[in-house]
Chain A
Amino acid sequence: MFKRFLASREAILLGAVLILLALVAIRFPAFIAPANLANVFNDTSPLIILALGQMIVILTKCIDLSIAANLALCGMVVAILNVAHPDLPVIVTLVVATGLGTILGAINGLLVWKLTIPPIVVTLGTMTIYRGTIFLISNGKWVNSHEMSAPFKAFSRQILLGLPVLSWIALAVVATFAVLLTRTTLGRAFYAVGGNPHAAVYAGLNVGRTQFLAFAIAGALAGLTGYLWVSRYAVAYVDIAGGFELDVIAACVIGGIAISGGIGSVGGLVLGALFLGVIKNALPVVNISPFWQLAISGAAIVIAVAFNARSSRTKGRIILKSAEVAA
């Protein structure tokens, strides 16, 4: 069992993250102090939550390019709502953000399911539409910190048992997804639909509906993160989380989620996101320029994909009967 873990992608990723931390610690030992690691985790939390949403979409052989635009639109809506009604309880804000995100994700899902438009085209379109909508409802203006109510801003930063609420929410989403993907029929359907859509149809699964649900769940997480993001940074504008969808997809790819669908684990994904999070937080500390940061993230993606391609190729088919029993 342990031997199998050592050979798995998760173990290799974990090793990569640890080596990265060790290298940074040589130059800057304070980086690996528990308090700082907690900060890094908190900083990576939005990426983890969004990447989990993207992961189930990719598992079903789709992709959601609109996930960051969805986040930004939901963040702007709750920011404007907060300005108009400063006394609204945070729970209402959470429901509005998550609900709106679900609807936006469901729109993607419906277009993919009912009109069978390729997901990359659908979400490229909705990405632009959602961003444009932010401009329309905000007239291009910023919602600044002083306009937001105190509880609205405090929610994501409140410390509970030593960690900010943002971190706790990320941990809760990770736990929920671990159960969803390994212990529920819906999770199984995500893998089956992406692994072989034809076989899934014959097994009685509704491929389009499963993809729709993946988009809707990803949308819900984007909406939720939209509020957390605006609350944490205490600002909302048209371009928040601009280009973040690419970080999210990068985390999925590094985490071993196959772009062709049907393969990937929650553990791998979290490590993929943490890998990016550590790079982003550590490199400035050790005085490496942001341009190198981009290059290193990019190299990590290429290496991860090359590695995935290699590991799936070397297996080959087992034709010899003796080899089959040994496998």
Chain B
Amino acid sequence: MSPLPKAAPLPPVLALDGVTKVFPGVRALSEVSLALYPGTVTALVGENGAGKSTVVKILTGIYQPDGGAIRVDGQPATFPTAQAAADAGITAIHQETVLFDELSVAENIYLGHAPRGRFGLIDTAAMHRKAAEILHSIEADIDPATPLRDLGIASKHLVAIARALSIDARVVIMDEPTAALSHKEITELYDLVDKLKQQGKAVLFISHKFDEIFRIADRYTVFRDGQFVGDGAIADVTQSQLVQMMVGRSVDHIFPARAKAPGAEVLRVVGYDHPTEFADIGFSLRRGEILGFYGLIGAGRSEFMQALFGITRPSKGAIRIDDKVRVIRSPADAVANGIVYVPEDRGKQGAITALPIFQNVTLPSLGKTSRSGFLRLAEEFKLARDYTARLDLRAASLDQPVGNLSGGNQQKVVIAKWLATQPKVIILDEPTKGIDIGSKAAVHEFMAELAAQGLAVIMVSSEIPEVLGMSDRVIVMREGRIVAEVSGDQMTPETLVRHAAGIGED
């Protein structure tokens, strides 16, 4: 095997040398090193809490290191402010882009360094012209005059990249840029990363997805618990070696084995229509079954689930629960009929952080723990105690506000809340999005347990291994319609991707 020509000859443009960062009570980074080379994509790999985002914040001037050195072109440098980092040619594209919705694309690209005309006023014509040039150079078909709020997430990423190019960045940091993108948009992003490479930019790519890392990265650096574990060329490493470095032990992500003996039909949906979001959705679901819903982002899966849960109203369609026709007009109806929905954004839509644990758990079950509008605190505590104990929740007291708990325990409160309603059907929307491998396995274990107890589970997921590993059956949606229902031997990555993307058989 020939040595890699890319990394070897050029010195790193940006490097961290034995950098340490300490927060009260936590050592976030302990003498870590990282080198970014021109024209090279370096993947930063690590579980949640490994210190990846701390590194990003140090590189962009938001945090100051407590020890070690930052080197730009080999010379020691400090970034006391975000502006200093930007001046050194470092720019970051975040998972949720930090741009301004109310400004135009051109204004976003040139905010802070707009071309000036007479009297020092902004030369709008020049700004639009230059913005159009940059957008053209990355083959982004966006009018610079469009207000940013009219663009989708993928286009916003393009604008962020155009902004990076406009300030002549030498280092581009991408923090989980594909988390919210569809398959096609991700491919476009890959092309763009290739272009940045050709232009000699150093790219730091942070991602949880191994297929991505192996597709576009040239080098890798692995952190574990705030410490440097290793780095090298991607070509010299396998996925399982990388995972092993990351978790410090060999983890084959094995999905829990499940007895596949679904029971009687519990839910049947017939002809659900919505004027703009989905059409003709129909399927049946049995007790103890896990039904996967796969599709690209924007295929209408979450929108349909929200209608099923009564948040929005379908224009047509019917459902039967336990073979009885039911009408769901509101989330309260859904909960009363045994359907619960654990939404994707658990932080925003899950817990009420100012309320104590027990009040969070009993919130959807208040009908059961109250008599004619008056609460029965003893019953509430009993319900909360039962379900938090089942999930092994660690807390000093059920009276303590949920905001004082760690993220993992907050999630347990949210799940306990739904189980306490004793549902028949539980809808989990992207149950493992953005969480580390260890927690993912726990969630999968838990889903299998729920199904084993006779609950019917609907899992909306965009991660193919998860969909294939957990589901008994998979429904694929595209552009608001069900395009396939696959089970057994048909459940292969190729089938799912083909149906979701609308590619026919060869």
Residues of A within 8 A of B (CB): 182-186, 188, 191-192, 195-196, 198-206, 258, 262-263, 315, 317-321, 323-327
Identify the 6 closest CB pairs spanning chains A and B, nearest first. Answer: A204-B332, A195-B352, A198-B349, A196-B352, A203-B364, A203-B363
B26 touches A319 (CB 8 A): yes
B417 touches A327 (CB 8 A): no
A191 touches B331 (CB 8 A): no
B25 at the interface (CB under 8 A from A): yes
A-B contact count (CB 8 A): 109
Q: Taking A206-B330, A323-B25 as contacts, is the C-beta distance between A200 and B406 under 8 angstroms?
A: no
Interface string of B342-386 (1 = CB under 8 A from A): 010100111111110001000110110010011101000000000
Partner of A185, one of B341, B348, B370, B394: B370
Q: Which of B396-450 touch A at CB < 8 Å?
A: 396, 400, 403-407, 409, 417
B354 touches A262 (CB 8 A): yes
A sample of 25 inter-chain contacts (CB < 8 A) reads: A183-B377, A184-B370, A184-B375, A185-B367, A185-B373, A188-B363, A188-B366, A188-B375, A198-B343, A198-B349, A199-B348, A199-B349, A199-B352, A199-B363, A200-B352, A200-B363, A202-B311, A203-B417, A205-B331, A206-B330, A262-B352, A263-B354, A315-B403, A324-B396, A325-B396
Partner of B335, one of A188, A191, A204: A204
B373 touches A186 (CB 8 A): yes
B158 at the interface (CB under 8 A from A): no
Interface centre among A184, A199, A320, A323 (most CB of B within 10 A): A199
Main secondary structure of the interface of A (DSSP, over half): helix
B395 at the interface (CB under 8 A from A): yes
B44 at the interface (CB under 8 A from A): no
A324 touches B352 (CB 8 A): no
Interface centre among B335, B350, B375, B409 (most CB of A within 10 A): B375
B171 at the interface (CB under 8 A from A): no
Please report the C-alpha to C-alpha distance between residue A207 and residue B101 in the assembled complex, in whole angstroms. Answer: 27
**Which residues of chain A are near B367, meaning CB under 8 Å?**
185
**Which residues of chain B are near A262, meaning CB under 8 Å?**
352, 354-355
B404 touches A202 (CB 8 A): no
**Which residues of chain A are near B406, meaning CB under 8 Å?**
317-319, 321, 324
Q: How far is the CB of B336 from chain A (nearest CB, A)?
A: 8
Please report the C-alpha to C-alpha distance between residue A184 and residue B353 in the assembled complex, in whole angstroms. Answer: 20
**Which residues of chain B are near A184, meaning CB under 8 Å?**
370, 373-375
B331 touches A204 (CB 8 A): yes
Given contacts A196-B349, A202-B349, A263-B354, 18 further A-B contacts (CB under 8 A): A183-B377, A184-B370, A191-B359, A192-B363, A195-B353, A196-B351, A198-B345, A199-B351, A199-B363, A202-B311, A202-B364, A204-B335, A206-B332, A258-B354, A315-B403, A318-B404, A319-B25, A324-B405
**Which residues of chain A are near B203, meaning CB under 8 Å?**
none
**Which residues of chain B are near A198, meaning CB under 8 Å?**
343, 345, 348-349
Q: How far is the CB of A70 from chain B (nearest CB, A)?
A: 25
B343 touches A324 (CB 8 A): no
B164 at the interface (CB under 8 A from A): no
B373 touches A191 (CB 8 A): no
B334 at the interface (CB under 8 A from A): yes
A205 touches B352 (CB 8 A): no
Partner of A205, one of B25, B332, B375, B407: B332
Q: Taking A188-B363, A204-B335, A315-B404 as contacts, is the C-beta distance between A324 and B394 under 8 angstroms?
A: yes
**Which residues of chain B are near A324, meaning CB under 8 Å?**
394-396, 405-406, 409
Please report the C-alpha to C-alpha distance between residue A198 and residue B377 in the assembled complex, in whole angstroms. Answer: 25
Interface string of B195-236 (1 = CB under 8 A from A): 000000000000000000000000000000000000000000
Closest B residue to A204 using CB positions: B332
Closest A residue to B410 using CB positions: A317
B352 touches A192 (CB 8 A): yes
A327 touches B354 (CB 8 A): no
**Which residues of chain B are near A318, meaning CB under 8 Å?**
404-406
**Which residues of chain A are near B364, meaning CB under 8 Å?**
202-204
Q: How far is the CB of A193 from chain B (nearest CB, A)?
A: 9
Q: How far is the CB of A321 from chain B (nearest CB, A)?
A: 8
Closest A residue to B414 using CB positions: A199
Q: How far is the CB of A5 from chain B (nearest CB, A)?
A: 13
**Which residues of chain A are near B394, meaning CB under 8 Å?**
321, 324-325
Please report the C-alpha to C-alpha distance between residue A206 and residue B330 in the assembled complex, in whole angstroms. Answer: 8
Closest B residue to A191 using CB positions: B355
Please report the C-alpha to C-alpha distance between residue A202 and residue B426 in the assembled complex, in whole angstroms. Answer: 13
**Which residues of chain B are near A204, meaning CB under 8 Å?**
330-332, 334-336, 364
Q: How far is the CB of B506 from chain A (nearest CB, A)?
A: 43
**Which residues of chain B are near A323, meaning CB under 8 Å?**
25
B352 touches A327 (CB 8 A): no
Please report the C-alpha to C-alpha distance between residue A320 and residue B311 in the assembled complex, in whole angstroms. Answer: 37
**Which residues of chain A are near B350, meaning CB under 8 Å?**
199, 202
Q: How far is the CB of A93 from chain B (nearest CB, A)?
A: 29
Please report the C-alpha to C-alpha distance between residue A192 and residue B356 in the assembled complex, in whole angstroms. Answer: 11
Please report the C-alpha to C-alpha distance between residue A183 and residue B405 in the assembled complex, in whole angstroms. Answer: 25
B370 touches A202 (CB 8 A): no
Please report the C-alpha to C-alpha distance between residue A151 and residue B355 in the assembled complex, in whole angstroms. Answer: 46
**Which residues of chain A are near B352, meaning CB under 8 Å?**
191-192, 195-196, 199-200, 262
B354 touches A195 (CB 8 A): yes
**Which residues of chain A are near B331, meaning CB under 8 Å?**
201-205
Q: How far is the CB of A179 from chain B (nearest CB, A)?
A: 8
Please report the C-alpha to C-alpha distance between residue A325 and residue B374 in the assembled complex, in whole angstroms. Answer: 32
**Which residues of chain A are near B353, meaning CB under 8 Å?**
195-196
**Which residues of chain B are near A201, meaning CB under 8 Å?**
311, 331, 349
